[in-house]
């Protein structure tokens, strides 16, 4: 599923094919995404895409007339393909570029969205309250420490809150907490500055490593689904219930926290 690294990979993959290029036609086959695709999206036909950027898991393609905001939800993907490619089930949108290439949006579960923003700034409600980028300078141990004071919420849930920091999904939250040696259920307010320091390092490490893997699949993902199958191999605790902890051999535990599967080593994570 598209986590932050995969969205970043998608951005890097599509950018050369869309930035500086004109959209000839926009085809909407299924308007019922998370929110109905507004008519303004189709009105971007004829516009040139001036830039492409990512904010959290949102992709923003700017034109002189307004900005296209895309989110891949849980099952979405964007591919640059030959326009003659047959429409697959769940291919909902297509952006036919004047270059001849076509950008196609595929999303079985339709948790993704395609919206129109009048301006390319972060004032839109979906972007306005987002926390810092985990790989940016504003994300630090001090920031997390201050932000978490007085919060009884589980630290795992805390770092998965996009108002706290963007792009940390269930899998990366589990992995980062394992590396940092922090129990996922620990109240955020009880996590020390030192532990947050380890956590920040861990989050950066996990995301960066994953982006690099995404980089490896960059060439393939234009053709295939872009699902990096080998990412699973590098997971340390996620989906490893009852298997030995890679550090101490204790059986990995699976619990449900905040209605999400949570994996941790009861010995290494205090």
Partner DNA sequence: AAAACTACCTGAGTGC
Partner DNA sequence: TGCACTCAGGTAGTTT
Task: Select from 45, 74, 222, 235 the one that contacts DNA (CB under 7 A).
Answer: 74
Q: Tell the residue number behind the tokens 């490490």, with chain if given.
A: 205
**CA dist 135 → 4, 5, 31, 194 (Å):** 11, 11, 34, 19
DSSP string across 148-190:
HTT--SBHHHHHT-TTTSSS--HHHHHHHHHHHT--TTSBGGG
Q: What tokens appear for 101 in the block? A: 């290439």
**Any contact of residue 169 with DNA (CB under 7 A)?**
yes
Question: Among residues 6, 8, 54, 57, which one is catalytic?
Answer: 57
User: Does residue 235 contact residue 213 with C-beta atoms inside 8 Å?
Assistant: no
Task: Select from 111, 197, 216, 218 the one that contacts DNA (CB under 7 A).
Answer: 111
Task: Select from 71, 106, 183, 253 the one that contacts DNA (CB under 7 A).
Answer: 71
Buried residues in 202-213 as b, exposed as e (16+ CB within 10 A): bbeebbeebbeb
**Near DNA by CB under 7 A, which window of 77-85, 137-145, 162-170, 216-224?**
162-170
User: Does residue 106 contact residue 76 with C-beta atoms inside 8 Å?
Assistant: yes
Q: Between 24 and 189, whose beta carbon lies closer to DNA?
A: 189
DSSP H/E element including 107: none
**Smallest separation, CB 228 to DNA (Å):** 15
**Any contact of residue 56 with DNA (CB under 7 A)?**
yes
**Smallest separation, CB 73 to DNA (Å):** 6
Among the listed residues 170, 194, 197, 205, the one whose alpha carbon sits nearest the alpha carbon of residue 184: 170
Task: Select from 17, 54, 57, 92 the one that contacts DNA (CB under 7 A).
Answer: 57
Task: Select from 19, 28, 83, 108 the one that contacts DNA (CB under 7 A).
Answer: 108
Catalytic residues: 2-3, 57, 260
Residues that bind DNA (CB under 7 A): 1, 3, 32, 34, 56-57, 71, 73-75, 89-90, 108-111, 125-126, 150-154, 157, 160, 162, 166, 169-171, 238, 256, 258-261
């Amino acid at each position: 599923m598209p986590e932050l690294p995969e969205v970043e990979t998608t951005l890097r993959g599509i950018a050369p094919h869309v930035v500086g290029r004109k959209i000839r036609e926009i085809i909407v086959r299924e308007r019922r995404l998370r929110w109905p695709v507004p008519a303004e999206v189709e009105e971007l036909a004829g516009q040139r895409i001036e830039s492409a950027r990512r904010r959290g898991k949102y992709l923003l393609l700017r034109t002189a007339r307004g900005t296209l905001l895309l989110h891949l939800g849980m099952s979405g993907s964007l591919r640059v393909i030959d326009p003659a490619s047959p429409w697959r089930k769940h291919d909902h949108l297509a952006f036919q570029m004047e270059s001849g290439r076509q950008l196609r949006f595929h999303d079985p579960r339709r948790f993704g969205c395609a919206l129109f923003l009048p301006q390319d700034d972060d004032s839109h409600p979906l972007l306005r309250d987002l926390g810092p980028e985990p790989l940016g300078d504003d994300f630090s141990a001090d920031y997390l420490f201050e932000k978490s004071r007085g919060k009884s919420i589980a630290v795992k849930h805390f770092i998965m809150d996009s108002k706290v920091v963007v792009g940390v999904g269930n899998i990366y939250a589990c992995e980062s907490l394992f590396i940092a040696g922090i129990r996922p259920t620990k109240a955020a307010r009880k996590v020390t500055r030192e532990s947050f320091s380890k956590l920040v390092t861990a989050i950066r490490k996990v995301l960066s490593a994953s982006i690099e893997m995404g980089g490896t699949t960059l060439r393939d993902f234009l053709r295939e689904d872009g699902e990096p199958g080998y990412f699973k191999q590098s997971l340390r605790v996620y989906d490893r219930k009852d298997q030995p902890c890679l550090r101490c051999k204790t059986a990995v535990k699976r619990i449900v926290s905040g209605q999400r599967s949570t994996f941790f080593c009861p010995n290494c994570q205090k």
